[in-house]
């Protein structure tokens, strides 16, 4: 019974967070303030009153359209408001609510939601989202009962940061253009600070597998942009929900 009440509360919290993520996804790439002005239609600029801004419900009642001008509201708004609570509930079902690891992976996995969509739509990862992950990962690593200790966290972030810096520099020298964005470097460093040195290789394999599957399904032309941030963020969510380490070991070495 208590479990059910917690799940309902997490669903409400998750839907509200999803609604906030939609604001981030819309405004961060435009470099707009995320606080003011209040929610408004991107087409007719009319403000959206709170009773028309209820996560999921409002979208469905209005048929995915602005009440005033009829402009279509992109389907990802609804998707974000549905998957955010699902991720939160999934993390709750995997970890003990009172364990610091629950909070750690809830924050990490939820953090990936706006990053996934912003990178998928705009091929950028805002620094406002990527850089705070680095100190947050260190803070969680300082808790004695965390799954990754501070040394593992520090070494993983430092190694991945220097490695990606080198790759970015080599690419620039070879192609006379930027291939690896600064956003990717900060995001990976932040994820490394959460994951630690032992989990990181599995996560990179998982992200690469997702990338390969994506390429096999949606064959893209060579000059199309490739947003690796979407694959790494999807992998982080997946990892947080299931035991990624076990899964990859099974995939690579067989056995179930």
Q: Name the one range near Zn ion by CB under 5 A: 67-75, 95-103, 106-114, 169-177.
A: 67-75
Does residue 251 interact with Zn ion by CB under 5 A? no
Least distance from C-beta 42 to Zn ion, angstroms? Answer: 8
What is the Cβ-side half-sphere exposure of residue 133, based on CA atoms within 13 angstroms? 32
Residue with smaller CB distance to Zn ion, 49 or 135: 49
What is the distance between the alpha carbons of residues 233 and 237, in angstroms, rounded to a whole number?
6
Least distance from C-beta 64 to Zn ion, angstroms? Answer: 12
Q: Which long-range contacts (CB under 8 A, 24 or more apart) does 87-90 make?
A: 87/14, 87/113, 87/237, 87/240, 87/241, 88/10, 88/11, 88/13, 88/14, 88/17, 89/7, 89/10, 89/11, 89/14, 90/241
What is the distance between the alpha carbons of residues 232 and 238, in angstroms, rounded to a whole number?
10
Does residue 138 interact with Zn ion by CB under 5 A? no
Least distance from C-beta 50 to Zn ion, angstroms? Answer: 16
Does residue 97 interact with Zn ion by CB under 5 A? no
Residue with smaller CB distance to Zn ion, 46 or 220: 46
Look up residue 56 and give its two tokens. Answer: 């999921």
Report the residue from 23, 27, 68, 163 that binds Zn ion according to the rule CB under 5 A: 68
Residue with smaller CB distance to Zn ion, 42 or 201: 42
Neighbouring CB atoms inside 10 A of 190's CB total 28
Q: Name the one range near Zn ion by CB under 5 A: 35-43, 112-120, 139-147, 154-162.
A: 35-43
Does residue 43 interact with Zn ion by CB under 5 A? yes
- Residues making contact with Zn ion (CB under 5 A): 41, 43-44, 66, 68-69, 71
């Amino acid at each position: 019974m208590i479990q059910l009440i917690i799940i309902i509360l997490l669903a409400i919290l998750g839907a509200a967070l999803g609604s906030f993520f939609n604001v981030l996804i819309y405004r961060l790439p435009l470099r707009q303030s995320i606080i003011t002005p209040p929610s408004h239609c991107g087409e007719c600029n009319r403000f959206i009153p709170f009773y028309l801004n209820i996560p999921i419900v409002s979208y469905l009642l209005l048929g995915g359209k602005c009440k005033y001008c009829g402009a279509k509201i992109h389907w990802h708004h609804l998707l974000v408001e549905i998957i955010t609570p699902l991720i939160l509930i999934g993390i709750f079902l995997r970890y003990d609510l009172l364990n610091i690891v629950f909070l750690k992976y809830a924050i990490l996995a939820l953090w990936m939601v706006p990053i996934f969509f912003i990178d998928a739509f705009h091929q950028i990862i805002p620094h406002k989202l990527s850089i705070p992950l680095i100190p947050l990962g260190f803070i969680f690593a300082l808790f004695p009962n965390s799954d990754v200790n501070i040394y593992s966290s520090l070494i993983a972030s430092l190694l991945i940061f220097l490695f990606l810096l080198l790759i970015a520099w080599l690419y620039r020298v070879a192609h006379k253009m930027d291939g690896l964005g600064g956003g990717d470097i900060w995001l990976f460093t932040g994820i490394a600070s959460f994951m630690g040195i032992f989990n990181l290789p599995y996560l990179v394999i998982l992200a690469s597998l997702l990338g390969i599957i994506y390429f096999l399904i949606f064959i893209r032309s060579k000059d199309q942009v490739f947003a690796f941030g979407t694959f790494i963020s999807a992998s982080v969510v997946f990892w947080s929900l299931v035991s990624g380490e076990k899964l990859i070991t099974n995939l690579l070495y067989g056995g179930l």
